[in-house]
Structure 1
Amino acid sequence: MNRIDGGFGWVIVCSAFMTLMLVDGVLFTLGILYIEFLDEFKEGKGKTAWITSLIPGTMLTVGLGFGGIFLSTLVCVGHHFEKRRSFAMGISLSGSGVGIFVFAPVVRILIEEYGWRGTLLIEAGFILNIIVCGAFFRPMQKQSGRTTEKSETKEEAIDLLRCDDNLIYIKENCIPSDKNCTIEENASQDDDVHASKQEIITQTKSTKNTTLSFFSRHFDFGLLTNPIFTIFVVSNCCTCLGFNAPYVYLPDRAEEKGMNKLDSAFLLSVIGISNTFGRILFGWIADRKGVNRLLLYGTSLVICGTVNVMNPLNDSKIYLMIYASVYGMFIGVFVSLNAVILVDLLGLERLNKALGLLMMFQGIATFIGPPLCGKSYVYNLY
């Protein structure tokens, strides 16, 4: 069963949940490893933060590794749901929060047992399990009643390849009378089409191998002329500059204020579990009639910015846990509604290219954000 808002779509949601649990469980617990990197390399906070920026930054900028996983997961879920798209996205992306909640104490224990190098090796083994999850991803099936006929036509069309090497003649009697064949109107207005086979092959290869052709197929840079999309990109870049900062610096800050390593790692678990709750809750709310998704999205970002500004006001354990809870819940809205709002603004048919282009700019901001925050700490601007 493969239909919109149900059927096999829920299997894809479960696979997406597990995929993002593994990916983000590894990504957003880098702050625990960050403490080990500081001890190992004896460098400043800003310079060491480049290590934790490389994985999320490059994955979103060039779409390698985790970037390809994240983009394909969101697009696949988005295409299988319409009325329940926000809710389905919320459930899928809540895997991220569960991953953070589970991985934070696990990573801390693994570091104690095997060191940070052994921990990275074990995490790589976890990531291999995404292959199984990805096997369930598939596009919406389109019904076609001409499968057998197409197969027969393909065999009969092979005769076209047996003509003279220097010239190809396509005549009316080359196509069986009971079969259909579509020829572009601008190809020829006559019954015969005369062309050099070598010329056709050369022109085809030349077109396919051009860089311009590649980018035009995968990136719709024309979207940047759309003022609504441009504003949305700028907003996302500003958010992503500080998006990873709590995940990277919160455990280190907690240890500086006297918390033990396990408790400081638990702060990431608090972000994770509240993030899970927030993504599902606000995903469900966003699907209700009369709810302004863009307003909900913007309000959540204002709340996240406010609690980040208030973070340095107190260093107690309770205060930091409250901060982690509030930030985790409302930053979940940003992640779960990104793709949904893109569909609202641009339409489902442009989701693939729009989301890919948006993630490219997000990656640039994510890449420079944590080191910039580290530098600001060094210069007492935080």
Structure 2
Amino acid sequence: MAKVNRARSTSPPDGGWGWMIVAGCFLVTICTRAVTRCISIFFVEFQTYFSQDYAQTAWIHSIVDCVTMLCGLGFALCYSPAIAMVGKYFSRRKALAYGISMSGSGIGIFILAPVVQLLIEQFSWRGALLILGGFVLNLCVCGALMRPITLKEDQTTPEQNPVCRTQTQDLKQASPCSAWTKEWVQTCLCGSLQQEYSFLLTSDFAVLATSVLFMAYGCSPLFVYFVPYALSVGVTHQQAAFLMSILGVIDIIGNITFGWLTDRRCLKNYQYVCYLFAIGLDGLCYLCLPMLQSLPLLVPFACTFGYFDGAYVTLIPVVTAEIVGTTFLSSALGVVYFLHAVPYLVSPPIAGWLVDTTGSYTAAFLLCGFSMIFSSLLLGFARVVKKMKKTQLRFLAKESDPKLQLWTNGSVAYSVARELDQKDGESVTLAMLGSSPS
């Protein structure tokens, strides 16, 4: 308890132990996201060993990603809490902190892709998986770095109703097994859950959630089928692993540089737009991929897709925090990553079915590309509509009588007529004093 109390702060420290949190989150992303994305290197091995088609083999990767985002099992218990902790420790340099943290995925791919290929050649796919399992045990070390922190906004957040809490304690003292006690406890619990997840009822978060579904559908299949696609156009196994390494290292650059750029004063207010831009460009890369059928053409694709993949991944927590606030960031991120689960589950098998049916990767890549572009356009359209409504309200306020107009900021409204009357009275008094003889 003493350690927990020392870690408390009234505002995000933007440094100090926060950099250790960033380091821990960095290692977590290596051990979780990088390892799962390197499963695409095992794809051809699984397909050959089990004699299955693309659609059946793709379930291995999709189930791993789905369960990570859906439950409190395995990687999920490490990934989401680590990301939320970074948001607790940083405010002014949040995008940069997330950029460094999320770059672990790219660095992990850059290092692990050729290493995994080498392990498969030396120890077969079974031995390679055992070695990766031992590497993932380092997540225990990452968890030891996570210190809880209580922010000022957390302390001012409305807590559980004190009357409800007092009555619950009285009922427990009177009769521990009373049915009334259970009823009051259930009522208070439901109230706290409604309060914690109240952001689910906002239109802004509903649009973000819908956009995330389409974005997640598009981003997953590439990490399953990029290596098989490269092999299908005549690239060797080592060159295909090299392409994954390029994608990973450029992903790192996208994580860090895009996070740093969007923290600058000129782009600080446009992080939402930068997020849309990055998702849209990844979608365009997908549309071009079927035309790229040689190593010299696939290298620029890996660079472009990798950079903007790292860019929008960095901004997911930032955009989420902009919509729901820091207080609800942990719960909102849990929901956002939970929404990744279903697309991650179905998109690789659907893409595999399209490959098996058409005999080509074109339809699968085009569907993913259009899905990501639609995700970007949906959020952009919602932002335009919101701004148009604000402009319309301002115009109506200017057209109405200034002494009767109401200024609104959502749920609170107040009249400025009294302030105007007071100013008129002060100006009349000053005029009288100025005209009186000295």
Q: State the distance in 1 between where 2:192 and 2:350 align.
A: 33
Structure 2 CA distance for aligned equivalents of residues 25 and 317 of structure 1? 23
Change (3 A) 1:329 1:204: farther
Name structure 2 gaps, 5 residues minimum. 1-5, 153-160, 365-438
Q: CA deviation at 1:359?
A: 1.1
CA distance in 2: counterparts of 1:127 and 1:302, whole angstroms: 33
2:199 to 203, 223, 235: 223
Q: Given that residues 4 and 81 in structure 1 are in contact (C-alpha distance below 8 angstroms), is that contact kept between their aligned partners in structure 2?
A: yes
**Cα deviation, residue 199, structure 1:** 2.1
Structure 2 residue identity aligned to 1:334: Y
TM, length-normalised to structure 1: 0.82
Query: What's the counterpart of residue 145 of structure 2?
Result: 136
Give the CA deviation at 1:315: 0.4
1:56-100 C-alpha deviation (Å, 9 max, x unpaired): 111101132111211011100100000000000000111110000
Match of residue 71 from structure 1: 80
* Other structure's SS at 2:331 match: helix
The answer on 1:33 being equivalent to 2:42 is yes
What letter matches 1:253 in structure 2? Y
**Other structure's SS at 1:289 match:** coil
Displacement of 1:244 in angstroms is: 1.8
User: Could you tell me which amino acid in structure 1 is paired with residue 173 of structure 2?
Assistant: K
Please identify, of 249-258 and 71-80, the stretch whose mean Cα deviation from structure 2 is larger. Answer: 249-258
Q: Indicate yes or no: 2:374 matched with 1:365.
A: no
* Whole-angstrom distance in 2 between the partners of 1:47 and 1:218: 40
Amino acid corresponding to residue 197 of structure 1 in structure 2:
Q
SS in 1 for 2:175: helix
Deviates more, 1:219-228 or 1:282-291: 219-228
Residue of structure 2 aligned with 1:23, choices 18, 23, 32 = 32
2:94 maps to which residue? 85
Q: How is 1:187-226 mapped onto 2 (pairs within 5 angstroms)? A: 197=173, 199-202=175-178, 206=182, 213=189, 217=193, 222-226=198-202
Distance 1:358 1:186 in 2: 31
Cα 1:339/1:186, change in 2 over 3 Å: closer
Shift of 1:327: 0.4
CA separation of 1:364 and 1:109: change in aligned 2, threshold 3 A: same
Indicate the residue corresponding to 1:240 in structure 2: 216
Is the counterpart of residue 293 in structure 1 residue 302 in structure 2? no
Deviations 1:262-287 (A, max 9, x none): 11111111110000000100101111
Kept in 1, the 8 Å contact 2:171–2:178? The answer is no
Q: Secondary structure at the match of 2:141?
A: helix
Unaligned runs of 5+ in 1: 144-182
* Residues 1:186 and 1:138: Cα distance change in structure 2 (over 3 Å): closer
Using the size of structure 2 for normalisation, the TM-score is 0.72
Deviation at 1:52, TM superposition (A): 0.9
Q: Please point out which of 333, 336, 351 is paired with 2:329.
A: 351
**In the TM superposition, what whole-angstrom CA distance separates every residue of 1:232-289 from its partner, at most 9, and x where no partner exists?**
1111111111212121101111112222111111111111000000010010111112
Matched, 1:338 2:347: no
Structure with greater contact order relative to length (CA < 8 Å, sep ≥ 6): 1
C-alpha separation in 2, matches of 1:5 and 1:135: 20
More off after superposition, 73-82 vs 111-120: 111-120
Establish whether residue 254 from structure 1 lines up as the match of residue 257 from structure 2: no
Q: Structure 1 CA distance, aligned partners of 2:231 and 2:184?
A: 55
Q: Is the 8 A contact 2:275 2:311 kept in 1?
A: yes
Is the contact between residue 32 and residue 251 of structure 1 (CA under 8 Å) also seen in structure 2? yes
1:175 is matched with none
From 262, 271, 283, the equivalent of 2:247 is 271
On the 8 A contact 1:75/1:351 being kept in 2, the answer is: yes
**Cα gap change, 1:185/1:361 in structure 2, threshold over 3 Å: closer, same or farther?**
closer
Q: CA deviation at 1:46?
A: 1.2
Amino acid at match of 1:285: L
Q: Distance in 2 between the 1:37 and 1:211 partners?
A: 51
* Cα RMSD, aligned residues only: 2.8
Q: How many equivalent residue pairs?
A: 340
| Post-superposition offset of 1:352 | 1.1
Give the corresponding residue for 2:375.
none
Change (3 A) 1:338 1:219: farther
Indicate yes or no: 2:91 matched with 1:114: no
Does structure 1 retain, via aligned residues, the 8 Å contact 2:103–2:255? yes
- Cα deviation per residue 1:358-379 (whole Å; 9 max; x = unaligned)? 1111111111111111112222
Q: Does the 8 Å contact 1:218/1:353 carry over to 2?
A: no
